[in-house]
Amino acid sequence: MNERIIELTEINPSDLFGAQNTTIEILRKYYPKLKIVARGNELKAYGEKEILDEFEKRLGMLITYFNRYNKLDENSIERILTTNGDEHKNSKLADGVLVHGVGGKLIKAQTANQRKMVELMEKNDMLFAIGPAGTGKTYTAVALAVKALKEKEVKRIILTRPAVEAGENLGFLPGDLKEKLDPYMQPLYDALRDMIPFERLDSYIEKGVIQIAPLAFMRGRTLDNAFVILDEAQNTTHNQMKMFLTRMGKNAKFVINGDPGQIDLPRRQVSGLKEAMLTLKEVKGIGFVYLDDKDVLRHRLVKAIISAYKSFEVVDE
């Protein structure tokens, strides 16, 4: 009798096994010729090689399904165990959904420019998303990163931003480095919590699958097999932006988000984002998308505020 040991590294065993091992019981029903034993983070199966091969393939499909949709109910298990694998594989973006988030939330690009972000990211390895607050730059970029991770297009997600906020200085904030940085990274955490269940997100961060760090921590690194997002890029200097852009390694995707209207750098300090927009606009493989008040999905007043400021700036010039 052949033995197959499958170590569960991409899924929490309790999520796969189900309440009172319901998933294991369904597997036993569909594979009566196998002896299936669940123990810890391993699944052991004993039987003929051909049946074990099919069992391992279907189990992989179940894990992929759970990682993509954050759920695994009896109907979906039975469908995956009985249908053609290609049918499941080819259903990816037919409905425009980027990620199935926590609690079944369907996360899609909701405006024309957000959809343009998705389209440009499919054609380019680097994308600049330019626009004011509330236009969904960060949220859409994080959704694209989570999608790439779930579909195994990349091995890790790296989220970064310069630690410059409206004249504040890290040195004056209480706590250790993580406690000082967390407020700066909060928008990125918020987006991730919408898309990845808490325990799995915690595990990803602990294992380094998802890394959230200030821009200074990028120096000297080569970022391979990663989806990297630079947020609040308007607050980078020339040297910081150049350093970040040249970290790009093999099989990497970079998204640079920023709002040139909200620069918190000292006076006379040129924004690395503004400079990069001019310098790189003709480089093939780099996409640019410009979001505006039509892309705002927050409170209706946010759209009105952005329009009012835009009008004021035109008059003021």
Please tell me the total count of domains within the chain: 2
- Judgement on whether residues 146 and 75 belong to the same structural domain of the protein: no
| pTM exceeds 0.95, yes or no | no
Q: How confident is the model over 64-85, as pLDDT tens digits?
A: 888 777 777 787 888 888 876 5
Cβ proximity of 258 and 233 under 8 Å: yes
For tokens 């921590």, the residue is 217
DSSP string spanning 87-114? HHHTTTTTT-EEEE-GGG-EEE--SHHH
The confidence score (pLDDT) of residue 174 equals: 52
- Asked if 68 and 216 sit in the same domain, the reply is no
- Is the pLDDT reported for residue 314 higher than 60? no
Same domain, residue pair 111 and 76: no
List Cβ neighbours of 128 (8 Å cut-off, separation of 6 or more).
233, 256, 258, 273, 276, 277, 280, 286, 287, 288, 289
Of all residues in the chain, the percent with pLDDT exceeding 90 is: 38
Beta carbons within 10 angstroms of residue 295's beta carbon: 25
Q: Which of 50, 70, 89 is the last residue of a domain?
A: 89
pLDDT of 93: 43
Say whether both 85 and 107 belong to one domain: no
**Residue for token pair 């699958």:** 209
Alpha helices in 156-197 (DSSP H): 177-195
**Whether the predicted pLDDT of 290 surpasses 90:** yes
How many CB atoms are located within 10 Å of the residue 19 CB?
A: 7
Q: Give the pLDDT mean for 192-198.
A: 90
Q: Using pLDDT thresholds of 50, 70 and 90, give the confidence band for residue 106.
A: confident
Indicate the average pLDDT of the chain. Answer: 83
And the tokens for 149? 């991770």
Percent with pLDDT over 70 in the chain: 87
Q: How many CB atoms lie within 10 A of CB 57?
A: 10
Residues 61, 102, single domain; the answer is no
Contact 10, 149 (CB under 8 A): no
Lookup: tokens for 298: 């927050």
Contact 38, 24 (CB under 8 A): yes
Q: pLDDT at position 103, please?
A: 74
Tokens for 35, please give them.
């002896």
* Domain boundaries, position 195: 97-316
Average pLDDT, integer, range 135-147:
93
pLDDT tens per residue across span 214-248:
888 888 888 999 999 999 999 999 999 999 999 99
Is the separation of the CB atoms in 163 and 170 below 8 Å? yes
Return the minimum-mean-pLDDT range out of 1-10, 152-161, 180-189, 260-269. Answer: 180-189
Residues 283, 192 within the same domain: yes
Q: Which of 180-184, 189-193, 252-256, 291-295 has the highest average model confidence (pLDDT)?
A: 252-256
Bridge partners of 47, per DSSP, are 2
Domain final residue, candidates 31, 57, 89 = 89
Rounded to an integer, what distance in angstroms lies between the CA atom of residue 184 and that of residue 163?
7
Quickly tell me which residue has 């898309």 as its tokens. 195
